[in-house]
Every structure is written in structure tokens, then in C-alpha cells.
Amino acid sequence: MPLIKRACLFLMLVAMLIPRIAAAAENMPGMAHRLREADMDSGIIKGQVIQKDKSPLRNGSVLLYIKSLGPPPSVDEYLRIPNIIESTDKEGRFSIKVPEGTYFVSALKWAPKSKDVGPPRDGDPIFDLLDDKGQNKEVTVKNGSVVNVGVLPQSGIFSGKSQKFSSGITAVEGIITDSEEKPVEGAIVLAAFQNHLVFASYMTGKDGKFQLRTNDGGEYSLTVTSRYGGGQPSPGDLLIVPEEGADQTRILLKKGERTKGINLKIKKIIVPTPTGSGAMLDGKMKAPPLPIYQNR
């Protein structure tokens, strides 16, 4: 067969196969996902969260931590703030578009849209992606790639009694009070290091006392919030607003030591009606101090 005829036949065959290849990709979830969502400016981390009883974690929270911005998550020693948070579906599956980089992956029971989202509570299941040695597994994503981490299994049950101080763990302790000097319940202290939110405390109780742990010393900026999961406030939500001139409290922590006696003063506001990106406070429009890491 002449070369020109062979070339024409090849081109005709390719033209016939292209629609079939595209159709096959659409019928293959993994391939279709790669074609539709992965691009040259981001990658995708996907997987499934499975509970101890083998059932999927429906509408839970998948938490991603950028390795370069802090240590691996460790609920026993400190509570690191996730850099990206996204929900699982009814089958416990997740697919999250992320910038190129290396991540740690974990999950919690509460979904980002739930009012109950926040640090784990006693009895809550904990899910961590671990390696063969039981350490947090690193997940590296390149632009244009899809990384399937597989099943994220339940790694334990949270208990406040399991929190511990090991070598190198640093802490700041104190109390959160309102403008009437009363303790504030349901507040969370966030700590930023070099302009990045890194650590959080657990929610305060009726006594308003907090304890925030880190893995290292240094200068941190402390802020207070009432909604760990971010998002817009709803009618009836409690907003925690720093007093004028006290947006942040800077504190120098020494590695391996507890800094005690820190008093954080705030205002408490109940949201009457939704008003765009903020709430009407003292007759002026102000945005609530919510965490900024939620994936959108």
C-alpha cells in the first residue's frame, strides 16, 4: 500500500477513535475526574473515609495540612489548624483540588457546614492517613496530577485525657472573658506564626479557660473565634469580637514551657439577621474574625 494511502488511513482511524476515547473517559470516573478538574495550576487529592464499623463517614470533614507551614497533626500533643477543609459525600468519598505541594491528611466527624464543626470532642472518631510505621504519611501532589490516597481508616477515638506533654511541646494558658469580666464558653484561641494560622485550642468550658499547645517556641499572634469551621454566620450564632485595639495578642513562647495567666478580652454578639459578609455590630458593619483556611 502506498505511503500516502497508509497516512490517510491512519488519520481516518484516529478521527474515528477520538470520540470513542472521550466517551470512554466520561464513563470512567477517575479518568473523567482527571480530564475535568486537574489542570496545570493545581492537582487533586481524592479518597474515602471509612469508620471502624466499615461504614463510610458521611458528610464529615477532610482536613489537609501543608507540610511546609507546620508539623504533622497530633491531637494528643497539639491541635494544628488545617489549611484546607472539605466535606465527604454520602459514601465517605472526597475529591479536593489543591495547589502543588506536600500534605498531611486527616478527617473528623463534623462537616464544614455543621454548627458543630470544631476540634474533636471526647468520643469522636479520628481518622489519619498513616504510613507503615504509624507516622503521618506525606502526600505529594504535582500540578495536573490526581493522587488517590485510597481508604482513610479510623485511627482512634479522641479523649481529652490522652492529651500529653512530650519533649518540645510548648503551651500558653489563660482565660477568655467578656466586657463584663465574665468567662466566655465555646471560644477557641487561634495562634498564627509568621502570618500563618497554625495552632488552635480546644473550645473553652463554662470557666472560660483555654490551653493552646504548639510544637516549638517563638512569637505567636493569638486571636479568638467561636466558629472553628469558618463560613458565614447564621441568625442566632454567637460572634466573638476582639475589644477595640485588641485584634491580636502577641506572645513569645519558650520551647518546652507553659506560659500561664494570659487574659484575652472579647465582646460577645448574637447575630440577629444575616447581613452579607458580616454582622451589624454597634451600628457598624464589621466582619467576624473567622478562620480563613476553609476550601471554597
DSSP letter, residue 180: T
CA distance 119 to 1: 72
Per residue in 270-295, pLDDT tens? 666 544 433 333 333 333 333 333 33
Tell me what pLDDT residue 272 has: 62
Cell representation of residue 259 = 506560659
Q: Which residue type does 74 have?
A: S
Per residue in 162-221, pLDDT tens? 555 555 678 999 999 888 889 988 888 989 888 888 999 988 889 999 999 999 999 998
pLDDT classification of 28: cutoffs 50, 70, 90:
very low
DSSP letter, residue 136: B
b (16+ CB within 10 A) / e for 124-161: bbbbbbbeeeeebbebebeeeebbebeebbbbeebeee
CA distance 60 to 93: 10
Tell me what pLDDT residue 232 has: 55
Tell me what pLDDT residue 159 has: 76
pLDDT classification of 161: cutoffs 50, 70, 90:
low
Per residue in 61-91, pLDDT tens? 899 999 999 999 987 788 898 888 899 999 9
Mean local confidence (pLDDT), 141-152? 95
> Cβ-count burial of 23 within 10 angstroms (0-12 exposed, 13-18 middle, 19+ buried)?
exposed
- 263 contacts: CB under 8 Å, gap ≥ 6: 174, 175, 176, 177
- 101 pLDDT more than 70: yes
Pairing of strands 170-177, 139-141: unpaired
Tell me what pLDDT residue 187 has: 85
CA distance 126 to 163: 14
Instruction: Give the strand order in the sheet containing 218-225.
Output: 79-80, 196-200, 188-193, 218-225, 249-253
Tell me what pLDDT residue 141 has: 96
Q: Is the dihedral of CA 129, 135, 141, 146 positive or negative?
A: negative
The model carries a pTM of 0.71
Q: Where are the beta strands (DSSP E) in 256-296?
A: 258-270, 279-281, 284-286
H or E element at residue 12? helix 3-26
- 236 pLDDT more than 70: no
Q: Is 156 helix (H, G, I), strand (E, B) or coil?
A: strand
